[in-house]
A and B are shown apart, each in its own frame.
Chain A
């Protein structure tokens, strides 16, 4: 059953096309990896899917709601961890949870109970009264995991949830996420530059480059079609070896742009 449906999605910033006619589907309950080099358009797509950026054109359906007509219902359906932290540093961990709970109109009795449950889940209960400004990067991430799931969304959007984290914390975060997925049948849409995370955890993978879909499928089908042994090989074969400068000159990127798309 499809839970996220994207059709011909386009986002232009002035003359620069960040997302270029993107279409894909995500099935309910799967872990979906959304990959691409720096500047490929991942964050821009996530922002459009999570209703804070208006598409230039195209259709998005999330949890069967249309993004143009049912924004509030869509917002209720998902939780999100953005690429950069979105916590309030001047509040404690518990206060951040409470603020979230109030905004999602949760029941009074549930707020304390669920805050405790999820803060314990990410091993932060003993830090509940510590100001977030005193948290390490890893602790902030764990708090964001707890917060993103507090209102029990159907979908989790995670934009590089493990970027900048040490191996231990990364493993922990994935442990939490897998548990959440098993227990609550939640759909997880994530981006990452650690391709082994996609190899290990993703049921389905999409690779985009220059805002365009390059390939989509399961890990094995991608490896088969590109005749490669690892996702990294496939990724490099599909997106080239040169380094991406963000906002690279439009004409240059046009020349470099791969003309073929794997289907």
Chain B
């Protein structure tokens, strides 16, 4: 327990001691909110779908959580390169606890990032349907954060050096984001792509956040929760296994 706590704390300190990164990671979501929100808003409205900002904000919250989480997970690569990982791997802490501490720490950072985006969204005109579902929305944010930190950690555990980083961004993060219903409703898209969205955990995270904040939903909040929860438990198990096999 102590080890999980201290490794969690280490990740959290790394996060808040680097304001440049916090701000850097906000750039993209803010740009997306403004460009897409104001750009596509009129078209969305003309198509009879209502206020696009209401639809878009949960998606952008999901995006910022996704990006921060994956990047936090991939920090394993940095720790391999700069040596700190060895300090944890020679310690008598079971590898699964190391993995859990790191993951919870990265997930905490990602969750905070999601909350910051939510607050920014309030300023550009996002109106939650009711505030009483905020805790429920937070649960979805946390699950997304844990899932993708664990995924980032697992993938980084398999890679040798930082060269794979760009690969992850282009071939993992971007498709996950664009095929999650973050930007457009997924019930209208063609069958093949829809299948991808159905296996995409971010779809359920964003749908859950969207349902709890705006009552717009594809799968229903209960389904969202069970499916995302199941996927998160699975990735934690698989990720811990992969992490425990790291050799340096």
Q: Are B93 and A91 in contact (CB under 8 A)?
A: no
Tell whether A76 pairs with B92 under 8 Å between CB atoms, given A54-B247, A90-B13, A90-B17. yes
Residue of A nearest to B97 (CB): A103
Query: Shortest 5 CB-CB distances between A and B: which pairs?
Result: A102-B6, A86-B83, A103-B91, A86-B87, A75-B92
Q: How many residues of A contact B (CB 8 A)?
A: 29
Q: Are B248 and A53 in contact (CB under 8 A)?
A: yes
Q: Are A105 and B92 in contact (CB under 8 A)?
A: yes
How far does the alpha carbon of A53 sit from the alpha carbon of B86 in the complex, in Å?
11
Of residues 78 through 113 on chain B, the ones whose CB sits less than 8 Å from some CB of chain A are 82-94
Inter-chain contacts of A98 with B (CB < 8 A): 6
B13, B18, B83, B92: which contacts A104 (Cβ < 8 A)?
B92
A25 within 8 A of B: no
Inter-chain contacts of A95 with B (CB < 8 A): 13
Tell whether A87 pairs with B247 under 8 Å between CB atoms, given A76-B92, A102-B3. no
Tell whether A87 pairs with B84 under 8 Å between CB atoms, given A47-B248, A99-B10. yes
Interface SS majority for chain A? loop
A82 within 8 A of B: yes
Tell whether A87 pairs with B87 under 8 Å between CB atoms, given A99-B10, A103-B6. yes
Inter-chain contacts of B89 with A (CB < 8 A): 51-52
A50 within 8 A of B: yes
B45 within 8 A of A: no
Inter-chain contacts of A87 with B (CB < 8 A): 83-84, 87
How far does the alpha carbon of A195 sit from the alpha carbon of B248 in the complex, in Å?
27
Inter-chain contacts of B10 with A (CB < 8 A): 88, 91, 99
How far does the alpha carbon of A54 sit from the alpha carbon of B13 in the complex, in Å?
32
